[in-house]
Amino acid sequence: MMCIKHGTGVRFALTMWCALCTFLPMDHNPFDVRALRDRIGWTQDRLARFLGVDRSSISRMENGQALSGPVRRLLALLTEAADNGTADALCPEHQVAAE
């Protein structure tokens, strides 16, 4: 990926431990949250559980609300996992206990 503001040659790796490019304006949303959620087949509830927010926050994010730094880092991690086909391992679905 490239820095959106400085698109010429500023490259950085998105990993669990690195921050997003500091040149990226805080009000800019580099993620299409709904498209990512649809791509990995998660419900709003499951994504909310992964991000540690409530479902209504997911709805607001999908409608353009600015993302906080921690949420952006988790979405970057989720995007990387989706690219590798391992997104489901990050947040397993709730299992219904068999009786």
In CATH, what number is assigned to the domain containing residue 44? 1.10.260
Q: How far apart are CA 77 and CA 87, in angstroms?
A: 9
Percent of the chain with pLDDT over 90: 54
Q: What does the buried/exposed string (b/e) look like for 28-43 if buried means 16 or more CB atoms within 10 Å of the residue's CB?
A: ebebebeebbeebebe
**Residue 25 falls within a domain, yes or no?**
no
Structural domain range at position 39: 33-87
**Closest to 33 (Cα-Cα) out of 68, 75, 91, 73:** 75
Question: What's the pLDDT tens digit per position in 27-74?
Answer: 455 789 999 999 999 999 999 999 999 999 999 999 988 898 899 999
The pLDDT value given to residue 18: 46
What pLDDT sits at residue 56? Answer: 96
Mean pLDDT along residues 77-82: 94
Task: Output the pLDDT for position 12.
Answer: 47
Flag whether 22 is in a domain. no
> What distances in angstroms separate CA 30 from CA 18, 39, 82, 94, one per listed residue?
16, 16, 16, 29
Residue 49 forms part of a structural domain: yes
pLDDT at 97 over 70: no
